Amino acid sequence: MLHVSTRGAAPAINFTDTLLAGLARDGGLYVPQTWPSLSKARIAEFSGLSYARTAEAVIGALIGDELPQRTLTRAIETAYAAFRHPAICPLTQLGDNLFVLELFHGPTLAFKDVAMRLLAGLMDATLEAEGRHVTIVGATSGDTGSAAIDAFAGSRRADVFILYPHRRISEVQRRQMTTSTAPNVHAIAVEGTFDDCQALVKGMFNHHDFRDRLSLAGVNSINWARIVAQVVYYFTSAVALGAPHRPVSFTVPTGNFGNVFAGLVAKRMGLPISRFVVATNDNDILARALADGRYEKAGVVATASPSMDIEVSSNFERLLFEAHGRDPAAVRAAMDSLAQSGGFSIPAPSLGSIRAEFDGYRTTAGEAVATMRKTWERARYLLDPHTAVAVNAAERAQERDPRTPMIALATAHPAKFPDAVHAATGIRPELPSHLAELMTRKERVIVLRNDRQAVEDCIEREARARTSLAAPAQG
Ligand SMILES: *Cc1c(COP(=O)(O)O)cnc(C)c1O
């Protein structure tokens, strides 16, 4: 399968190239040239299959025949062997026609594990085949970094450096990054904010000499393979509720729009999905854009659902590309306007086509707390603050369409945000048993000034040691 850039001025590339590509050279994001489709009969067959077998069918259709079947099978098996639930992503009923899809049974308790672990397996296999070695650098506000450190720990082909804002993430998030014993993964605490960390990473990628010397690679949410991995649970959950014979709707707590875009991919492949509810917290740029067609930055506020405290939702560009009938010139014009004036308007026909499939809802901080409390009291079910944003939006959306089953995506385990859950419900969720000793394990962290040279020196030192160790094995 070939992949084209949303901005139309970069060469089309294969799936395995998207693993390492990051942004296209024209600044765009890669999407498949065409959407593969699965027949109704084929989708109906998924009802008897395990998560792994469904993943093989769905991902296989999206990738084409570029990877050997056994490479894909092995990457899937390895990725999901570490999950703590036999269904991998189980569905729980919360109310009449209201379901929660639990995506947090992976090692770091957030849905990022679902995609990051598969990406790591596919990347390792590709690098191994090509005899290459890469240095992954990324910035995190918590969940992406812990998933990346877990997924790439012990990789023979990738060193990982994750920058996070010193003293500004939760203790569970920090310990998930600092207690790994694998020598190829490194947590770097930067004396600064998340934005400072992101600027440092951007600066390193723009420092071409450094970038080439260390073969820098990224694993952030624009990575196409991460979206591919997330398409699978839309199929497994919808089929569990009767698809393809009856449609379902999804509510997705959204930040960078990667998760909900994966849902659109499932729909394009033939899964009957009635509506997507895009749920935001108080950082509601997406809900506003869907309401009035104006995508406009307004400043980020800190909330109890920090993984959704995002102002520029990078994967929204992929939706725009679709809504503009895949016209890259229209996407370029919108993105130029965003860069120059902090916003753009979505033309009426494109907005109409988006609204035909998506609704936007904002859940305020107070509403999220009330939903956490109410759900505990009524159903004895603990929601993490991100999932609470989704469940609140899902309940409001259901008032308009009570008959279609609604699946709200649960993106984090409540124990990952124990203080917020305790404040809302009076209950302090316990860490799953495999993480019980997390709070007493030895931490390993490098604290650095907010200074690109200092970070580059550190990475060069650590990654070089690793390269020279790996060199004899490469022959
Ligand atoms: C990353 C994240 C989100 C947002 O997902 P996007 O794909 O960026 O929209 C929501 N909830 C949690 C817990 C996350 O870690």
Q: How much is the CA Rg of the chain, to the nearest whole Å? A: 21
Please state, for a pLDDT cut of 70, what percent of the chain lies above it: 97
Residue 409's nearest CA partner among 102, 94, 113, 86 is 102
Residue 158's nearest CA partner among 139, 176, 138 is 138
Q: Note the pLDDT of residue 467.
A: 54
What's CA 153's distance to the chain center, in Å? Answer: 19
pLDDT by residue (tens digit) across 223-251?
999 999 999 999 999 999 999 999 999 99
Please state, for a pLDDT cut of 90, what percent of the chain lies above it: 85
Provide mean pLDDT across the span 253-266: 97
> Considering only 102-111, 202-211, 261-270, 407-416, which range has the smallest mean pLDDT?
202-211
Q: Which residue segment(s) compose the domain that 265 sits in?
A: 87-108+225-425
Taking the centre of ligand 1 as the mean of its atom positions, its distance from the CA of residue 386, in whole angstroms, is 8
Which of 307, 315, 413 is the best mutation target for the ligand 1 pocket, counting ligand atoms within 8 Å of the beta carbon and taking the most?
307
Which of 411, 413, 417, 421 is the best mutation target for the ligand 1 pocket, counting ligand atoms within 8 Å of the beta carbon and taking the most?
411
Q: Note the pLDDT of residue 471.
A: 44
Q: How many structural domains is the chain composed of? A: 1
- Specify if 320 maps to a domain: yes
Q: How far apart are the first and last CA of the chain?
A: 33
pLDDT-derived band at 466, boundaries 50, 70, 90: low
- Specify if 219 maps to a domain: no
Q: Note the pLDDT of residue 154.
A: 94
pLDDT by residue (tens digit) across 31-90?
999 999 999 999 999 999 999 999 999 999 999 999 999 999 999 999 999 999 999 999
Taking the centre of ligand 1 as the mean of its atom positions, its distance from the CA of residue 109, in whole angstroms, is 12
Taking the centre of ligand 1 as the mean of its atom positions, its distance from the CA of residue 447, in whole angstroms, is 26
Please, what is the average pLDDT of the chain? 94
pLDDT by residue (tens digit) across 394-432?
999 999 999 999 999 999 999 999 999 999 999 999 999
pLDDT-derived band at 193, boundaries 50, 70, 90: confident
pLDDT-derived band at 464, boundaries 50, 70, 90: low
Provide mean pLDDT across the span 348-365: 98
Q: Hey, whose CA ends up nearest to atom 11 of ligand 1?
A: 411
Active site includes 40?
A: no
Ligand 1: lining residues by beta carbon, under 6 Å: 110, 112, 143, 221, 253-259, 307-308, 386, 411-412
Q: Note the pLDDT of residue 468.
A: 46
- Specify if 472 maps to a domain: no
Q: Hey, whose CA ends up nearest to atom 2 of ligand 1?
A: 307
DSSP assignment string, 211-222: HHHHTEE--STT
- Specify if 460 maps to a domain: no
- Specify if 268 maps to a domain: yes
- Specify if 149 maps to a domain: no
Residue 176's nearest CA partner among 110, 108, 80, 114 is 108
pLDDT-derived band at 435, boundaries 50, 70, 90: confident
- Specify if 382 maps to a domain: yes
**CATH label of the domain that carries residue 331:** 3.40.50.1100
Q: Note the pLDDT of residue 474.
A: 40
Taking the centre of ligand 1 as the mean of its atom positions, its distance from the CA of residue 28, in whole angstroms, is 21
- Specify if 151 maps to a domain: no
Contact 49, 368 (CB under 8 A): no
Q: Of all atoms in ligand 1, which is nearest to the CA of residue 252?
A: 9
Provide mean pLDDT across the span 427-448: 92
